[in-house]
Structure 1
């Protein structure tokens, strides 16, 4: 099992997007070490290319990757000498290290592991018994964490319309002329409205989850990327997140499970009464987004 050492610098134009706050000071994370929404994609994309070279150019069969880790089985019992570390490793492991040296990928000796039983991402993998299990220490920590979670369950709230007993309806504002997909615009505007409402509550939330059955909206808020005029909605949401220190997750819910919200959007009171007679419905005014800020 081999591990690349994460010291590869990011492109200077990307580094400006990797400014992080550590100990009250802002620092540029030039190596993408601490991670971001894009870090896993970047590392997996790069290592996938290295993996392709390993398999199709160097002929290292059965090689797999997890982020920047490479791992494989090697049935050859004989160990091979790797001069830079002055030690012996399985043949495939030496081949991987030789390739990394050729590509100038940095690595450390402490990360080069091999055995019949290894701990991989927290799991004990036994190649003799063909068993994957949690080490005893990890099992004890997991049980302790579950017990703490159960014992403190009364202090947590689940963000649910059923728990709140609240529903909201509004007349649809006119979408901008540049909008090509009205459904996408209104779904994104609804997410912004829900975020603004949650930020206005007396009880402040540091984490907010919003469900929508529109995949474009989920993708926009997950990547924080969009094109005009949807950018205005995204910028308005970012202003709220920064001002109120909210961590937002927008998750997808299948349309067939989104009956109440769909009925609210169509003002189908009879359907709402059938599926959610407990729901208290109020009207609201959607934010008027014209320049990135809600009015």
Structure 2
């Protein structure tokens, strides 16, 4: 930090930055001259330049404005998951659970939507304190880690240039979703789709699940476009859905649908924003219900 400060303030080196012990900037030649003048040791092989650089295991692409995992990092994480799942009796010690969750938290810096893939792991570890006590891998954890493995190899990373920095008025796509005991619907740009739940026998409906499902259906629909929109704004009258899509921390019964939403976002690069809209103002999606079901 002191070297960076001296280079910027005293020597006027423009655009010089430091993260931990990694220096970067666009006037790096003057920084190396400064280091040589004070005999600061450095390795020539580590003095990289270009529009695409590897920084602490991430590919940082200045042209695309994106950060993604390196192939080496992906292989290491997949290996860690496979080792964990292949432990005899499928009862890894608490320390092994903590080690793996620590490793898998690291890629969340560039894949924040992968967070639901760790929800069940943390739920299983909750309240456990004995480091060497075995914790059985249940079906939910196995499913989520399998999802995490597949996701790592297909996710496209995050665009740091404009991710979540746009105003609602700048959205490339705006949609409205709604759900009830009768069915679910989504509406956008004069178009709409609706799905009616089978009324006989009358189902026991988890309305929160249906609200999330309506959002998932809308995302699945627009992801099928030849050129999916990037900045997607969705209005929902389900405050619970808005909160869970902001926190990415659902109840156990809703984690699978959140994984499905995350999968679409991680594969397409859609920048999703969900806003709450009062039910009385959710006119478009509600009207579709009334026209088709009443």
- Pick the TM interval, shorter chain: 0.3 to 0.5
Give 1 or 2: higher helix fraction: 2
Question: Rg: which structure is higher?
Answer: 1
State the TM-score, normalizing by the size of structure 1.
0.37
